[in-house]
Amino acid sequence: KILLIGACGQIGVELTLALRKMYGDANVLASDLREEHDLLKGTGPYVSLDVMNKEMLHVLVIRHNITQIYLLAAILSATGEKNPLLAWHINMQSLLNVLDIAKEENLDKIYWPSSIAVFGPNSPAMDTPQHTIIEPTTIYGISKFAGERWCEYYNHRFGVDVRSLRYPGLISYKSAPGGGTTDYAIEIFHEAKEHKKYTSFLAENTYLPMMYMPDAIRATIELMESDASKISVRSAYNLSGMSFSPKEIAAEIKQHIPAFTIAYEPDYRQQIADGWPDSIDDSLARNDWGWKHEFDLSKMTADMLANI
Ligand code: VAH
């Protein structure tokens, strides 16, 4: 039985729905600090859970016969910079609680997301490789890199089958994002549809690795369904879909909404984005477990505009 922590977040809502489709509604217990997201209501069991309360989490795992945990709760890059110590505490302690309970209860599998935010200004910017200089400059990136080290440690030291992906910026329409630097690429669609204009908080030529949520959900499930013998990375796999700039996504939207215009007013999130790669080399994920993305910028744009 799967416990999903952070089920009301941007990834959590869609991962919960996808896992319920695959394994049956009753076999996926959704949880979050917040009250149940509308899209989850009536689709399966839900509990209120503070992942920072290790005792409560441990009791819940035993009482519900949990065998897998997907931990999606975290403070993202932009929000994290406003309260670094809180972001560090929440991002790290939540993971340590889950890893230690996984070891204590000998859980089958754990999923925990990392991010391309682990890379910094000294990492190669183009086709950033799996193994390279990693000097994150945001607390979010520092916590994700430290988390990767803990995942690899619990795997090698205690045999915990924890798996992870370095997600690019994720774009979706079902659930709001939670304070990320890449969220401009979600806001732009809503603003284009409602007001035919958008003021971007990132400069026009800020290239970032991005991915449409359906690809990210499929990658997560394909990784978790892979035979353990195929997993050669126990920190977190680089994962890539596409890369684009605000200028490029604006041009793509303009093909659907000709009257759309964009302005640029970079804010504090610009320097976060400047430290991140332009594009990612995910050949290890492609070679180890057959990863292949399906959505490019034009296919994603058409789908986003059709659904919001
Ligand atoms: C963020 N959406 O912006 C997240 C993600 C690569 C970006 O980690 O913080």
Burial grade of 59 (CB within 10 A; 0-12, 13-18, 19 or more): exposed
Q: Considering 70, 140, 154, 212, which one is annotated as catalytic?
A: 140
Ligand 1 pocket, mutate which of 14, 77, 244 (most atoms under 8 A from CB): 77
Q: Is 243's C-beta closer than 6 angstroms to any atom of ligand 1?
A: no
Q: Is 9's C-beta closer than 6 angstroms to any atom of ligand 1?
A: no
- The residue assigned the tokens 């489709």 is 21
Report the atom number in ligand 1 closest to the C-alpha of 76: 9
> Measuring from atom 5 of ligand 1, which residue has the nearest CA?
169
Per-residue pLDDT tens digits of the chain, which is 308 residues long: 999 999 999 999 999 999 999 999 999 999 999 999 999 999 999 999 999 999 999 999 999 999 999 999 999 999 999 999 999 999 999 999 999 999 999 999 999 999 999 999 999 999 999 999 999 999 999 999 999 999 999 999 999 999 999 999 999 999 988 899 999 999 999 999 999 999 999 999 999 999 999 999 999 999 999 999 999 999 999 999 999 999 999 999 999 999 999 999 999 999 999 999 999 999 999 999 999 999 999 999 999 999 99
Query: What distance in angstroms lies between residue 241's CA and the mean position of ligand 1's atoms?
Result: 14
The residues, ordered by sequence, that sit 6+ positions from 219 with a Cβ below 8 Å of its Cβ are 165, 211, 239, 285, 291, 293
Token pair in block for residue 82: 């406003």
Query: What distance in angstroms lies between residue 182's CA and the mean position of ligand 1's atoms?
Result: 6
> 274 and 121 in contact (C-beta within 8 Å)?
yes
- The residue assigned the tokens 């659930």 is 175
What is the Cα–Cα distance from 216 to 211, expressed in whole angstroms?
Answer: 7
Q: Residue 178's pLDDT is what?
A: 83
Burial grade of 105 (CB within 10 A; 0-12, 13-18, 19 or more): middle
Ligand 1 pocket, mutate which of 81, 114, 167, 239 (most atoms under 8 A from CB): 167
What is the Cα–Cα distance from 112 to 12, expressed in whole angstroms?
Answer: 11
* ipTM for the assembly: 0.96
Distances in whole angstroms, Cα of residue 63 to Cα of each of 4, 7, 67, 105: 15, 19, 11, 12
The residues, ordered by sequence, that sit 6+ positions from 233 with a Cβ below 8 Å of its Cβ are 130, 284, 288
Distances in whole angstroms, Cα of residue 147 to Cα of each of 69, 74, 81, 227: 15, 11, 18, 23
Helix (H) or strand (E) segment spanning residue 111: strand 109-111
> 175 and 8 in contact (C-beta within 8 Å)?
yes
**Nearest Cα residue to 267 out of 35, 82, 6, 5:** 82
